[in-house]
Structure formats: C-alpha cells, structure tokens
C-alpha cells in the first residue's frame, strides 16, 4: 500500500472538516469538524513517521490524541455553558465580535 492513499485520505478528511466548519452553524457540528481536521493531521504525522522511519512523528501523534481528548472535554463544557446562557447552539447567535457601528 503506497503512502499516497494516506495522503489522499488525510487531505479528504481535512477538506471535509474545513467545509463543515464553514458551512454549518450548529456548534456540535463545528466541533466535530474541528476534530476531523485534527484527526487528519494526526494521520499525516503517523504516515510520515512510517515513511521516513522516524518514530518521533508517531510519538507526537500519540501525544496529540491525549491533548485532543482533554480539549474535547473543555470544548463540550464550553458548548454547554453557551447553551445555558443563550438557549441555542447556533453559532450565528454569538456575534459579540461584530463591528456594530459601521455595520448598520
């Protein structure tokens, strides 16, 4: 099996994640898209580690899985917090960063 397949898969996963991030509004979906992109990067790291015969890539990938797990907990907690405050998980409702004055 050539590494090209892995590269293709990683690119696909990343693209799906990115498109999901841009096109969807549900915070959970956004979260899942981000996870998808992270996974694609992990896959890429593992692949290069295997291709180049250097184990440090795999080490980083493993480390990242741990970090992502911690991040997942934090992320879900934040989403719940936002939901409690606003009774919605639509990302378009959270627009505090908007430039108000010039926009209207």
- Report angle CA 18, 96, 70 to the nearest 5 degrees: 50
Q: CA 41 to CA 12: how far, in whole Å?
A: 11
Site for other proteins in 71-100 (CB under 8 A): 91-92, 94-99
Q: CA 57 to CA 33: how far, in whole Å?
A: 23
Regarding 102 and contact with other proteins (CB under 8 A), the answer is yes
Regarding 2 and contact with other proteins (CB under 8 A), the answer is no
Site for other proteins in 16-45 (CB under 8 A): 18, 21-25, 30
Q: Which H or E run contains 68?
A: helix 56-86
Q: Which is nearer to other proteins, 53 or 99 (CB)?
A: 99
Chain residues in the site for other proteins (CB under 8 A): 18, 21-25, 30, 91-92, 94-99, 102-103
């Amino acid at each position: 099996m050539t590494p090209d397949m892995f590269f293709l898969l990683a690119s696909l996963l990343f693209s799906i994640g990115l498109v999901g991030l841009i096109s969807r509004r549900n915070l959970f979906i956004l979260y899942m898209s981000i996870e998808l992109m992270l996974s694609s990067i992990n896959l890429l790291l593992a692949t290069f580690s295997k291709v180049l015969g250097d184990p440090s890539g795999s080490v980083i990938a493993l480390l990242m899985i741990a970090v992502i797990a911690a991040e997942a907990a934090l992320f879900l907690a934040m989403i719940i917090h936002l939901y409690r405050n606003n009774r919605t998980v639509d990302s378009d409702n959270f627009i505090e960063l908007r430039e108000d004055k010039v926009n209207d």
